[in-house]
Amino acid sequence: MGKIKRIGVLTSGGDAPGMNAAIRAVVRTSIYNGCEAYGIYGGYQGLIEGDIKRLKSGDVSNIIQRGGTILKSARSTEFRTPEGRTKAAQVLAEHKIDALVVIGGDGSFTGAKLLIQEHDIPVVGIPGTIDNDLYGTDSTIGYDTAVNTAVEAVDKIKDTASAHNRLFFVEVMGRDAGFIALRTAIATGAEAVLVPEVETDLGDLERFIEKDYNPKTSSGIVIVAEGEKSGGAYSIAEKVAQKHPEYDIRVSVLGHMQRGGSPSQFDRVLASQLGAAAVDALMDDQKSIMLGIMNKEIVHVPFNKTIKHTKNLNPELLGLVRVLSI
C-alpha cells in the first residue's frame, strides 16, 4: 500500500447520535497526520455521484454536540451492484482519495468489504447504529444516547400511567435486536420486556403483569422492541386487552425520536476515540476492519467477523428483569 495522503469519510444507513463527533475526529486526526480529509455527502450514493468536499479543521467545529450527521446518510441500491461499486471506485480515483472511513452498521460494512475485494481500496469501519447489534464491540455510537432518550420518555409515561392506573406498552427501536428494550426496561423498572431474540409467551406475560398491575390501584409498564415477533406493541396490547377487558391499556411508540438529540458524553467520547483510531489504523496499513471497544480497549475486528457473527443479549440482564419484576 502506498503512502496515504487523502482520506474520505462517509456515513451510511440509519443515523445515530455521535456520528458528527466521529466525523470530527476522522477529519482532525487525518490533518494531524499530514493528510487531507474529504467528506462524502449522502453515503455510498453520494460517493457514486461524486458529492465530495474537502474538509478542514474549521469545517467540523461546533458539531460534536449535534445529533444526526452533517454528511447526511442514505441507502444506495446502486452501490449493491458491481457496476455501482466500480463507479464509486472511479470517483475515489478521480479525487485521488487513497482510503475510506465508513461510519455505519453491518450493511454498510458489507458494502465496504465488497469495495475492498473488487477494487483493493483501503477501507475501515466505525460502528454507528443505535441498535448496538454489531459483533465485536461492547457499544456502538448512538446506543447510549438512544437508551437515555427512551428512559427519559418512559419515566414521563410512568407519571401519567400512575395518575390513571393504566397499563402502558411502550415500543422502542430494535428491528432485529433487543438491546435498547432490555436496558430501558431495567432502567425504568418495567414489569416485562419483549425482544426479538426471545419468543413471546402471552401466558407468561400475563402472569408477570398480574403480579404488579391492578387496574384499580396501580399502573404498569411493558417495554417492547419494534421487532418483537408477535407484531410489536399494538399487536401485543390488543391480545392482552381481549383477554382482560378490565385493563386500561395504552400504547406509546417512541419511534425516531430515539435517533435524534444531542449525543451523550459517552457517545461523544466513544466516537472521538473510534474516529481517531480509524485514521491511525489506515496509517498503519490496516484495512477491512471495524474499530470497536471491548473492556474499555480499542480493538480491530475483521469485517468478516462482525458481518457473519451475531451479537447476543446478556442472559443475566434478561434474568434480572424477571427477578426485579416480582
Burial classification of residue 144, based on how many CB atoms lie within 10 Å of its CB (0-12 exposed, 13-18 middle, 19 or more buried):
buried
Do 183 and 45 sit in the same domain of this protein? no
Q: Are 132 and 147 in contact (CB under 8 A)?
A: no
- pLDDT bucket at 216, cuts 50 / 70 / 90: confident
Q: At residue 78, what are phi and psi to the nearest 5 degrees?
A: -65, -35
72, part of any domain: yes
319, part of any domain: no
- pLDDT bucket at 7, cuts 50 / 70 / 90: very high
Do 248 and 269 sit in the same domain of this protein? no
C-alpha 243/C-alpha 223 separation (Å) is 19
For the entire predicted model, the pTM comes to: 0.92
Mark out the alpha helices in the chain (DSSP H runs).
19-32, 43-49, 82-94, 106-119, 143-164, 179-188, 202-212, 233-243, 265-283, 303-308, 315-324
Q: At residue 265, what are phi and psi to the nearest 5 degrees?
A: -60, -35
Do 179 and 115 sit in the same domain of this protein? no
Do 267 and 135 sit in the same domain of this protein? yes
Neighbours of 12 (CB within 10 A): 30
Q: Which triple of cell numbers denotes residue 132?
A: 448496538
For residue 197, the one-letter residue type is E
Q: Are 229 and 199 in contact (CB under 8 A)?
A: yes
- pLDDT bucket at 191, cuts 50 / 70 / 90: confident
| 99 has pLDDT over 90 | yes
325, part of any domain: no
231 contact partners, CB below 8 Å, separation of at least 6: none
- pLDDT bucket at 5, cuts 50 / 70 / 90: very high
> 297 by DSSP, 3-state: which?
strand
pLDDT in tens, 277-311: 999 999 999 999 999 999 999 999 999 999 999 89
125, part of any domain: yes
User: How many independent structural domains does the chain possess?
Assistant: 2
C-alpha 57/C-alpha 319 separation (Å) is 47
Whichever domain contains 69, its CATH number is 3.40.50.450
- pLDDT bucket at 231, cuts 50 / 70 / 90: confident
Whichever domain contains 177, its CATH number is 3.40.50.460
Q: For position 162, what pLDDT does the model report?
A: 83
Encode 131-200 in three state secondary structure. CCCCCCCCCCECHHHHHHHHHHHHHHHHHHHHHHCCEEEEEECCCCCCHHHHHHHHHHCCCEEECCCCCC
247 contact partners, CB below 8 Å, separation of at least 6: 167, 213, 215, 240, 241
Beta 289-294 vs 249-253: how paired, if at all? Answer: unpaired
Domain end, chosen from 227, 244, 259, is at 259
Mean pLDDT of 167-193: 92
Do 148 and 255 sit in the same domain of this protein? yes
Mean pLDDT of 269-274: 98
Domain end, chosen from 259, 274, 290, is at 259
- pLDDT bucket at 241, cuts 50 / 70 / 90: confident
Do 138 and 267 sit in the same domain of this protein? yes
More confident residue, 212 or 155: 155
Catalytic residue set? 131
Do 78 and 165 sit in the same domain of this protein? no
326, part of any domain: no
Domain that holds residue 69: 6-142+263-308
pLDDT in tens, 26-63: 999 999 999 999 999 999 999 999 999 999 999 999 99
Do 27 and 137 sit in the same domain of this protein? yes
- pLDDT bucket at 81, cuts 50 / 70 / 90: very high
214, part of any domain: yes
| Average pLDDT over all residues of the chain | 92
Do 135 and 283 sit in the same domain of this protein? yes
Q: Are 20 and 48 in contact (CB under 8 A)?
A: no
Do 20 and 131 sit in the same domain of this protein? yes
C-alpha 21/C-alpha 60 separation (Å) is 9
Do 253 and 275 sit in the same domain of this protein? no
pLDDT in tens, 119-133: 999 999 999 999 999
Do 188 and 39 sit in the same domain of this protein? no
Mean pLDDT of 238-244: 86
Q: Where is average pLDDT lowest: 92-101, 178-187, 235-244, 296-305?
A: 235-244
% of the chain exceeding 70 in pLDDT: 99
Q: Are 51 and 76 in contact (CB under 8 A)?
A: no
Q: For position 2, what pLDDT does the model report?
A: 54
40, part of any domain: yes
210, part of any domain: yes
Q: How far is CA 174 from CA 42, 194, 226, 238, in A?
A: 24, 11, 5, 20
